[in-house]
Amino acid sequence: MDLGISGKTVLVTGSSRGTGEAIAHGFAAEGAHVLVHGLALDDAEPVAAAIVEAGGKASAIGGDITTEAGSETAADDALAAAEGRIDILINNYGTGERGFWFDAKTGSDAWIDVYQKNVLSAMRMIRKLTPQMKARGWGRIVQLGTIGSTMPNARMPHYYASKGALANMTVSLMLELAETGITVNTVSPGLIKTREVEAMYRKQAAERGWGDDWSEIERHVMREFMGNPTGRIALTSEVADLVIFLASDRAAMINGTNIRIDGGGARMVS
């Protein structure tokens, strides 16, 4: 299936590791020029270099998009590297901050901080990069959310609220960009097997006597934490595949959605 992505330029925020890194590699494999972003340029350079070494096209971009000044730097450098044309924006950057409602550390400052990271960072890049998409009459914006945006629990209230705001923002932006040729969607994963997640569960496995075989550890995780009917944790490449499809010509009629990729873990009708 030709996705129509070859020759496009895509900026993937927070793509120096984890799911963002997989998304960057996936777009490069489809023939896109990938702008790999890290809060610091040094973070992005190894991923961009790996893409180029594999035969793809990539440029490294730095900038702390949790701040106005850093967002200006990231957007300006991205547009310069892309010669003024960014077709696809993937708002992947974000953090999952731990905490409970009445923890001393989960007060106003923590809420403001997580909104800077998970909501305002995306808003800034949208405002800076959407006008040039509108001028050409084509663009794709995909936001990375979480199943917790529609199915939160008592833990991490500031994180889940921020991701809920991101999903809400997607629908508002879709309406604002009606008839411009730009679509906006949210992808909401459950657990993803990033290096950090695997390391966390391997540590718990050692503490709980689950052994060191990953398939066995995964079975325990499914039983005791965030289980789903597939019986396993999503791979970063699987999340990347969905993001890439939504950014393609083939997904032109998918707009304003919040698509779960959680193996059925949310157990809800929407």
Q: What is the pLDDT of residues 160-212, one digit of tens each?
A: 999 999 999 999 999 999 999 999 999 999 989 999 999 999 999 889 989 88
Stretches in the chain below the pLDDT threshold 50:
none
Provide the pLDDT for residue 180: 98
In whole angstroms, what is the distance from residue 142 CA to residue 157 CA? 23
In whole angstroms, what is the distance from residue 143 CA to residue 128 CA? 15
Provide the pLDDT for residue 1: 81
Instruction: Enumerate domains of the chain plus CATH numbers.
Output: 9-192+234-261 (3.40.50.720), 193-233 (no CATH)
Provide the pLDDT for residue 224: 86
Instruction: Write down the pTM of the prediction.
Output: 0.94
Provide the pLDDT for residue 96: 84
Residue 165: closest CA among 202, 114, 130:
114
Q: How many Å separate Cα 174 from the centre of its chain? A: 18
In whole angstroms, what is the distance from residue 126 CA to residue 142 CA? 10
Beta strand spans in the chain (E): 9-12, 33-38, 57-62, 88-91, 139-144, 182-189, 258-261
In whole angstroms, what is the distance from residue 139 CA to residue 133 CA? 5
